[in-house]
Amino acid sequence: MKKVPHRLYLSEDQIPRQWYNLRADMKEQPDPLINPATMQSATQEDLTPVFCTELARQELDATTRYIDIPQEIRQMYKVYRPSPLIRAYQLEKALDTPARIYYKFEGNNTSGSHKLNSAIAQAYYAKAQGLTSLTTETGAGQWGTALAEACAYFHIPLTVYMVKVSYEQKPFRKAVICTFDGKIIPSPSDTTNVGRKILAENPHTGGSLGCAISEAVEAAVTTPGCRYVLGSVLNQVLLHQSVIGLESKMALEMLDEYPDVVIGCAGGGSNLGGLAAPFFQDKLTGKANPRIVAVEPASCPSLTRGRYAYDFCDTGKITPLARMYTLGSDFMPSANHAGGLRYHGMSPILSKLYHDGYMQAISVEQTKVFEAATFFAKHETILPAPESAHAIYGAMQEALRCKQSGEAKTILFGLTGTGYFDMTAYTAYQEGTMTDYIPSDEDLQRGFAGLPQVPGQPE
């Protein structure tokens, strides 16, 4: 085996020139998006009022295996990529494990997370199409920050509907978005019909991600030259995020390494889908058989306790229907500091792969996540985001099993970002006031009760 540095940086010439489209290697495809108005498969025409034309095309493209990354996007990737592949020497030593642990660290950019990889692509295509503005929603703020950064770079105005409770609790996220000239509207707002309706019913609501999505979509389709962009769940997002996995695989190959297990945190699936994409390819094509593990919060367990069913992507129920593991768009995830994982559904691609046995999933309570995060921070000296710490927890469990069995497995996990804006959560953990909320079976039933009726869908 080659000598492994602590941090392996590829050269900028090694930044992928093409994204990898996982669907091209899936023998069984995810079920198509459905237009709820017609109950037919969504067409490009259905999607283009909401999404950029090229992004709508990518959303529906299940056959092109590799898609060229435009020069302008690669140019901005070069500003912060390749991201390092880090050998967790300190963590291995602290755990006294024979396992070799690697993590792909996506927090080394101002947005602080992997979200920038897709934000740049989406902002670029919007600009190239001649659009004059974009809308999006943000909860925890990683996506809003990343998209604001990308829009500042491509000079395209952005309006961010930010969940009101986050807007009030996270003034620092707001300030970063404003630094990049993003316009922020606390949601629900009086700027949209759906917002006004919700406010009329409940003037003091703190809002929700689903509501913010509904407002952002409404604003996009009612504003000339404007489209809506989304940071997770969608096929196009997994496509863009494949740079994470492609770089990881290339770096591991340079070290003569191949992972026995690939671990990612899972909310909507953007990071895990990107990180694991080329390893799923190996499984689908029979070249290799690494285990792929999703780690989700016990408070929002779409894979481990959800249903594989058609559902809306938003609580306002105005988006197309996607077949995915879901807790129901009416499910209200209980409070959890990993805001980026508080989503009722899961990427349709990952849902299908999970359903077909290509992926495993575990769920974990947030106090255990913060215990892992703190342990990791002390030894690896990177302060992880709570979302990312789910993957850390999964990797540590694997490494401890290796300690018991004596196996020197190779573990790869995705460290999606830093926790600088999550110190309230760390403080709650340190002060012992953090609580674990786990939905009861009754909570889940209430969510499932709101699932839409789709003809031909299994119960």
Residues near a copy of itself (CB under 8 A) are 5-7, 9, 11-12, 76, 78-80, 89-90, 108-112, 149, 152-153, 171-172, 174-176, 178-181, 374, 377-383, 418, 420-421, 423-424, 426-427, 430
DSSP 22: G
- Least distance from C-beta 162 to a copy of itself, angstroms? 15
In this complex, which beta carbon is closest to a copy of itself, that of residue 269 or of residue 340? 340
Q: Angle at CA 260, nearest 5°, toward 257 and 261?
A: 120
Tell me if the bond preceding 386 is cis, omega within 30° of 0: no
Residue 89's Cβ-count burial label (10 Å; 0-12, 13-18, 19+) is middle
Q: Which residues sit opposite 67 in a β-bridge? A: 19
Is 330 or 371 the residue whose CB approaches a copy of itself more closely?
Answer: 371
Sign of CA dihedral 147, 346, 383, 114: negative
Residue 9: CB minimum distance to a copy of itself, A: 5
Spatial CB neighbours of 425, under 8 Å, sequence gap ≥ 6: 337, 370, 386, 419, 434
CB of 38 to a copy of itself, least distance (A): 42
**Which of residues 355 and 379 has its CB atom nearest to a copy of itself in the complex?**
379
> Smallest distance from the beta carbon of 450 to a copy of itself, in angstroms?
38
Comparison of 278 and 384: residue with beta carbon closer to a copy of itself:
384
Task: Output 45 or 431, the one with its CB closest to a copy of itself.
Answer: 431
Select from 114, 167, 183, 166 the least CA-distant residue to 143: 114
Name the DSSP letter for residue 384: B
CB of 157 or CB of 290, closer to a copy of itself: 157
**Shortest separation between residue 377's beta carbon and a copy of itself, angstroms:** 5
Task: Kindly state the smallest distance separating residue 85's Cβ from a copy of itself, in Å.
Answer: 12
- Cβ–Cβ under 8 Å, residues 406 and 96: no
Task: Give the C-alpha separation, 160 to 145, whole Å.
Answer: 9
Nearer Cβ to a copy of itself (139/333): 139
**Cβ-contact 370, 429 below 8 angstroms:** yes
**Cα dist from 390 to 6, 141, 269, 278, 372, whole Å:** 22, 18, 13, 21, 8
Of 105 and 358, CB closest to a copy of itself = 105
Min. distance of Cβ 109 from a copy of itself in angstroms?
6
What's the rounded Cα separation, in Å, for the pair 453 and 324? 14
Closest distance between a copy of itself and the C-beta of residue 141, in Å?
A: 11
β-partners of residue 398 are none
